[in-house]
Amino acid sequence: MEIVNPGKQYKIANTMVYSCQYHIIFASKYRRKVLTAKIDARLKELVSEKQEEYGYRVIEMEVMPDHIHLLLDAHPKVSIVTIVNKIKGYTSNILRSEFPSLRSRIPALWTRSKFITTVGSVSLEVVKHYIENQKNV
């Protein structure tokens, strides 16, 4: 049996074929609505400019007044937690230096927490069924 998935792009690196996408959400400290229009635009620039250096590709991104949604594609050798922590640290440092109101309103830009989930185009049940039936093929 073969998993055919025409909508998914796979990457090849040495001896590995992979496709790893993640939906990430993290919020401003105390969920304060500090991510205004100018900060929103600058935040998107900052996240986009670190893609190659940090080892991810932005598929989609939206900034809400008190949190951000990211859909990232990343190499499986790079920890997604490391990527997210780098993004949060870098953006906090730059934004708090460029927008002094962020320093006066909250002690840190981001909460320590984050939501991370994998995104796939086949369900867990389909993969489970595929594995269970390998010997029947």
Q: What is the mean pLDDT of residues 50-62?
A: 96
The answer to whether residue 90 is catalytic is no
Kindly indicate the confidence band of residue 34, based on its pLDDT and cuts at 50, 70 and 90.
very high
The string of DSSP codes covering 5-27 is -TT---EEETTEEE--EEEEEEE
Element at 131 (helix H, strand E): helix 124-132
* pTM recorded for the entire structure: 0.87
Domain that holds residue 111: 11-119
Quick check: 115 pLDDT over 70?
A: yes
Residue 78 lies in a domain: yes
Element at 69 (helix H, strand E): strand 67-74
Residues 116, 104: Cα–Cα separation, whole Å:
29
Q: What is the mean pLDDT of residues 59-87?
A: 96
pLDDT in tens, 1-23: 233 455 677 888 888 888 899 99
Sheet holding 115-119, edge to edge: 56-63, 67-74, 21-27, 115-119
User: 77 phi and psi, to 5 degrees?
Assistant: -75, -15
Q: What is the pLDDT of residue 137?
A: 67
Query: Domain with 54 in it: what CATH number?
Result: 3.30.70.1290
Residue 104 lies in a domain: yes
Q: Which two tokens stand for residue 23?
A: 């939906």
pLDDT in tens, 80-110: 999 999 999 999 999 999 999 999 989 999 9
